[in-house]
Amino acid sequence: MNRKKGIISVILLVVVLALVVLFFWRLQPYENVRSSAATSTSEILAYDQTQSDGTVRFMYPSKDFGLATNANQILVSSFIPPCSSNFLYCLNYKSTDYDGTNFESAGLRIAKRVDIVGEPLCLNTPPEGFDSSMVPNLTTSTDEYSTSVFSNVNDAATGHYASGILYRLYVRASSTCYEFETRIGQSQLANYPAGTVKEFTTADQASLQAELRLVLNTTTLSSGTKVVFP
């Protein structure tokens, strides 16, 4: 009799354990979905600022970027500015992630090129400071807009240098030419006493360039069409 009770107890224990395992197994997909949804919401909320000139609109995270409409509003001070002087908007990188390195500045410059008329000139005119040998690496076209990209818009001064990528956007509905330029500036390690700063590495630069590209990718037209740059 006691043996039967023991067997029954073991069976009941196994059943209870199986039910517990089944419960948590079924709960796991829900937790994954909830976690995924929370992450997506967090990413969306990070881009908490929207700016538009009536033709194009973009978003950016105020935690990492400041918005300037003139040079006096740029929040960072550096030998190489985050944007060249000709801009409608300058998104200047203000995060402290690279403090203590030879990183200087970074930004996304947005300008309306009223001096460039027509789609072919908008897409193919060399960036300012470059001659006719500078041609776009790639152009794309849709029903509403066309784009081009110049991938090596670099600059340098004594002990300092900047790497940049310039994108052009021609909006057909308004016959307007825009350019968007990402720039990352840094100084040479030789400018500092040995061991006083860390190197702003190639991996750091790639990560920051990707962050600038994410902001660029938020660009949309007033029609609601998302702009896809090369």
Give bridge partners of residue 163 from the DSSP assignment: 184
> How many Å apart are CA 222 and CA 219, to the nearest integer?
10
CATH of 49-221, picked from 1.10.3470, 1.10.8, 1.20.1250, 3.40.1000, is 3.40.1000
> How many Å apart are CA 74 and CA 82, to the nearest integer?
8
Residue-range domain boundaries for the chain:
1-46, 49-221
> How many Å apart are CA 164 and CA 160, to the nearest integer?
14
Q: 219 in helix, strand or coil?
A: coil
Q: What is the pLDDT along the chain (230 residues), one digit of tens a residue?
A: 555 555 555 455 545 455 544 444 443 433 343 333 333 444 455 999 999 999 999 999 999 999 999 988 887 777 889 998 889 999 999 999 999 999 999 999 999 999 999 999 999 999 999 999 999 999 999 999 999 999 989 887 778 899 999 999 999 999 999 999 999 999 998 889 998 999 999 999 999 999 999 999 999 999 999 999 99
